[in-house]
Structure 1
Amino acid sequence: MSTRKLICTLAGLAAVCALLSYAASERLGGLRGGSTASAAAHHAGPGYGSYLQIAGVPARDYDAANAGAHRDGDAWVLGDVDLEAVRAAAAAPQDLDRLAEADPKWIPTQTWKMRHGGASPFALAKEHCSARHLARMEAMCKADISVVVERQGAGEGHVVYARPALGDGATDDCRAYADCIARDAWLDRATPLPDGPDPLHAFQAGDIRLPMHGTRDEWQVSLHSEIELVTDNLAAIRQLDLADPQIRQSLDLQQDLLEQLEWMAAL
């Protein structure tokens, strides 16, 4: 495998791991491997759903968020939209990975879906939803969110519909968490879209949480180690052709991962 392809592949995998959940990642080093704090996720027994709990940060109450949101069964809807149209779109979400592979114009949208980390409003909402609803985790919480984006201009849109889907074995806490991120993390997020006539685009986004174990001091050591690794990875990527959309995506995802690690280390 070429150096360029290796960097793109590992950088993308590292970002995906981080965005699924820091606790779910096996190795977050990207181009170099590191001994991440997530190794503690394999311990038996209940753990935490978010690093916020380990750091002693109280969960934020999001009940007042998105006042314009309303229910549509198990989904959340924002504003006055054509319900039949958004339901139909959500029933058959597009695979952004395949779209971006077939046409590079979709890479910015694919990157947008993958890079909701760091201290962004999206990431903050997810962490607080996790800390609030997954206060005592004993098993994995996995959800798929069908996200419908309404076009607002030639190259942008925002999320107007979010519907979580969970397996039969999901706990009540897991369902509450998925419902919280559908409303408070996904809804109304600004979204890049390639030019086109279609008013609605639906994508599927996965979310995985595993129990997090260990002390704050243990996590701090691993976080600072990972910050060093990702910083080195960024320096390597910047030596490549940043005009290449895939190289640029790898840079963006690694930068997002660094922001997430630095945010967590600062808590």
Structure 2
Amino acid sequence: MIKVVNIYKSFKDRLILNNINFEVNKGETLVIIGGSGSGKSTLLKLLIGLLRPEQGQIFIDGKEISKLKEEELDKVRLNMGMVFQYSALFDSMSVGDNVGFGLQEHSKLSAKEIKEIVEEKLNLVGLSGFANYMPNELSGGMKKRVSLARAIAFEPKILLYDEPSSGLDPVTSAKIDELIVQMQKLLGVTSIVVTHDMKSAFYIADRIAMLYQGEMIAIGTPDEIRNSTDSRVLEFINVSQIRKR
């Protein structure tokens, strides 16, 4: 479903991604871990076409997107949904209007049909009855769920998550993890999740990849990552357990 071949991306003189290669199979959840500045969010933006690589190719469902015109790219994006780190909801719009925004802009569905889809997706993420609320009336976890409902409104083949549990308490983070797994099971979506949270990563991932200083230094199943012999991988996944005051 996703194939990345020899991708390079830099900003000014700084190389952000250095010869990145990987594939994600249909229905698989790949979690990408790595420290701040390792290139994780940049990689997501490349996959959805918000950034373009200097070199390399990106295939989405068999179509190479790195050199597509914006109009062609928009058609590819209709099969992709993204849950942003800070939810990225429109503060001046109700929850229902946020979820239905893409459908209003990019479909010929009637207002009644859009309302039905919005209600269905909000129910799927556990927010039935919240369509008329405003974003400022919601908790952080609820905003994330609204963002997810918006991302799945078009029933995409691919979901991208940028730090979905960032800023949330452990209980709410666990609920978001459950929703990610639920989306995979119910909708059969292919997912890429960027996270710092190793508990979350091990719970939701079919495979885990680690970026380190712009290079992908490891990719494998959760067990393979746990048993890695690479000191950089081990330090990252164990640091929360070994830190002492």
- What TM-score do the two structures reach when normalised by structure 1? 0.24
Bigger strand fraction: 2
Structure number with the higher helix fraction is 1
TM-score of the two chains, using structure 2 as the length reference: 0.25
